């Protein structure tokens, strides 16, 4: 089914032609195994992840994997409008986009803070899906309170020596490299000071990696132990002690959430189509007025979410982003995702609890698996509570 929102971003013959070209290419080239999954391909078993990498490399050959990057870094040389349109269509189709930590988080930071050498070394490999990245922020006693981190980095000649632990590391199982925050000066009165941002090869001596299996069965996260790990000083991004500034920029980058908005539309469309197919059966959800009202409310919520994503993208394109808007978008889509998955599981009845590998699963297990995954979205990348705090202080000017 094509994406047919009430409100649409972009427009005109050129953008319409881009949408149609991409849809035709996806119809011919997107493998069926990717059309019906709710999971992030960075969390799949290695074989499935490698097939997703091959698909993204084919996207790259068309200039559609990182369409808004400059051509010198193997991007498509297009604008933010084209990037939003492409990401929206890919997400709605169910296309896997690997290495989100590298593409959506690290790359914008390297464009802004990276040295020419760092950009030349890492950006083309991210564009070609040749180097997978993990995010090394959280620690056993520093999650939402990130400034409490304890990993240390001590200068020793041309290197820094890193000691400490990271946990709940996104894409920590399959990644080749990791970007980490570490203390280069002791914890002081201003806790955000003295933190630095490093790029680390996960094959470096002294790193031990352990997978963490989630409720879905995927080894979604990992934990890493750093024991005297030598990292070249050339891998420091920004100046020493500038890590908090770099980290904040990273968390804001690419938070239009247009991908999540398109996925929400896909879930809703599939659920509505399934409900219509049940008309007159013994399990007809639409026979209950409460269910019809819930679906109507979901339509409203999805449209608002897409409009919010478009607003973030529009401001990004104009270079005038409201600093509270990314947090608002992140919060909204985290909770919308959970609401839709819960609605789907409710309407599908007992079969809605079956996981994708069950032959009797309804709608390929989207809603059962998705309901478990939706819990991650309210925590990862900044909890919903943290987003509310940022909205109140940054957006509304309320005291801390």
Residues marked as catalytic: 254
Nearest Cα to 76, choosing from 352, 86, 10, 129?
86
Asked if residues 331 and 257 have their Cβ atoms less than 8 Å apart, the reply is no
How many Cα atoms sit within 13 Å of 152 on the Cβ side? 9
- The Cα–Cα gap between 134 and 176 comes to 8
H-type alpha helices, the chain: 12-29, 46-62, 80-93, 100, 107-113, 116-127, 243-252, 258-277, 289-318, 325-348, 366-377, 384-390
Nearest Cα to 324, choosing from 268, 382, 276?
382
- The Cα–Cα gap between 167 and 159 comes to 24
Instruction: Give how far Cα 272 sits from Cα of 299, 315, 341, 365, Å.
Output: 10, 32, 13, 15
Dig out the tokens for 28 from the structure: 């011919």
Task: Please state at what angle helix 80-93 crosses helix 258-277, rounded to 10 degrees.
Answer: 30
């Amino acid at each position: 089914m094509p994406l047919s929102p009430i409100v649409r971003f972009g427009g005109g013959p050129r953008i319409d032609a881009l949408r149609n070209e991409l849809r035709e290419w996806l119809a011919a080239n997107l493998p069926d195994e990717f059309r019906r999954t709710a999971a992030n391909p960075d969390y799949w078993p290695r074989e499935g992840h490698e097939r997703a990498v091959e698909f993204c490399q084919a996207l790259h050959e068309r200039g559609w994997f990182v369409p808004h990057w400059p051509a010198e870094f193997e991007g498509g040389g297009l604008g933010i409008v084209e990037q939003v349109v492409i990401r929206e269509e890919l997400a709605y189709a169910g296309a896997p986009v690997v290495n989100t930590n590298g593409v959506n988080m690290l790359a914008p930071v390297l464009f802004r803070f990276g040295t020419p050498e760092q950009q030349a070394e890492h950006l083309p490999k991210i564009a070609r899906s040749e180097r997978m990245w993990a995010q090394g922020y959280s620690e056993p006693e520093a999650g939402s309170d990130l400034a409490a981190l304890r990993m240390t980095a001590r200068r020793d000649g041309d290197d820094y020596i890193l000691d400490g632990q990271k946990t709940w590391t996104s894409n920590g199982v399959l990644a080749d490299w990791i970007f980490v925050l570490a203390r280069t000066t002791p914890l002081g009165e201003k806790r955000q000071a003295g933190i630095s941002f490093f790029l680390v090869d996960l094959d470096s001596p002294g790193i031990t990696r352990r997978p963490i299996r989630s409720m879905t069965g995927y080894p979604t996260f990992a934990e890493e132990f750093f024991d005297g790990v030598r990292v070249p000083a050339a891998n420091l991004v920004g100046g020493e002690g500038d890590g908090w500034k770099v980290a904040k920029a990273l968390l804001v980058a690419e938070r239009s959430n247009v991908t999540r908005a398109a996925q929400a539309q896909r879930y809703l469309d599939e659920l509505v189509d399934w409900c219509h197919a049940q008309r007159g059966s013994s399990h007809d959800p639409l026979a209950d007025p409460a269910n019809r009202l819930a679906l109507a409310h979901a339509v409203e919520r999805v449209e608002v979410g897409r409009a919010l994503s478009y607003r973030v993208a529009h401001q990004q394109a104009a270079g005038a982003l409201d600093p509270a808007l990314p947090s608002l978008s992140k919060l909204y889509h985290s909770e919308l995702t959970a609401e839709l998955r819960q609605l789907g599981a409710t309407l599908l009845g007992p079969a809605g609890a079956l996981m994708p590998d069950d032959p009797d699963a309804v709608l390929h297990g989207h809603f059962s698996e998705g309901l478990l995954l939706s819990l991650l979205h309210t925590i990862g990348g900044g909890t919903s509570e943290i987003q509310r705090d940022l909205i109140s202080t940054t957006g509304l000017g309320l005291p801390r």
